[in-house]
Amino acid sequence: MTTTVDHTLGGDLARAIADAPDATAAMTRAVALLKTRRPHYTWAGIYLLDGDTLVLGPYLGKPSPHTRIPLGRGICGAAATERATIVVDDVDNDSRYLACSLETKSEIVVPILDPADAAIVLGEIDIDSDQPAAFTADDTSLLQGVARALATRLR
Ligand code: SME
């Protein structure tokens, strides 16, 4: 079951990210708020782009085997290459999908773009859910706001 985004979450995320002492703390706080306030987010994490490789940073959920993802691989690699949000309602029907957990049914990946140059990918937010089609337009909008806020801390 998906849930509507509670009205205060966007503001709480923006404040937590702005008030964090450094970029790592900003990412850690954002992941914690997302995971606790959106119960259907089974796994929430942030990858940072290092050259041609996405490197896993702060996350909550089961440890992922995919701590380093080349740009050409996975839904994560596709979102970074396309510089676009990708929502997958049924991961078993997407040949790009790299499995993190057998229970995962749907996924959303939102790129974090350089505020000064949207052609530059700094990283991305990756969320998995054990529910099929868990992510709505509200989730996309919420996570794109988080990505914009984090971008200002990562530059
Ligand atoms: N599912 C991702 C890999 C990362 S794990 O879900 C944490 C992908 O297909 O790129």
pLDDT grade, residue 72 (50/70/90)? confident
Report the pLDDT value the prediction gives residue 1, as an integer from 0 to 100.
54
Give all strands (DSSP E) within the chain, no chain letters: 43-50, 53-60, 68-70, 86-88, 106-114, 117-129
- Residue 97: domain span: 9-154
Q: How many separate domains does the chain show?
A: 1
- What lies within 8 Å, CB to CB, of 105 at 6+ separation is 90, 91, 92, 129, 130, 131, 132, 133, 134
Q: Residues 100-119: pLDDT tens digits?
A: 899 999 999 999 999 999 99
Domain contains 66: yes
74 lines ligand 1 (CB under 6 A): yes
64 lines ligand 1 (CB under 6 A): yes
Domain contains 4: no
42 lines ligand 1 (CB under 6 A): no
Number of neighbouring beta carbons within 10 Å of residue 112: 28
Domain contains 2: no
Report the pLDDT value the prediction gives residue 2, as an integer from 0 to 100.
60
Domain contains 68: yes
14 lines ligand 1 (CB under 6 A): no
Domain contains 3: no
Name which residue leads in pLDDT, 100 or 45: 45
Domain contains 1: no
Domain contains 58: yes
Mean pLDDT of 55-78: 97
What CATH number does the domain containing 19 carry? 3.30.450.40
Mean pLDDT of 20-29: 98
pLDDT grade, residue 53 (50/70/90)? very high
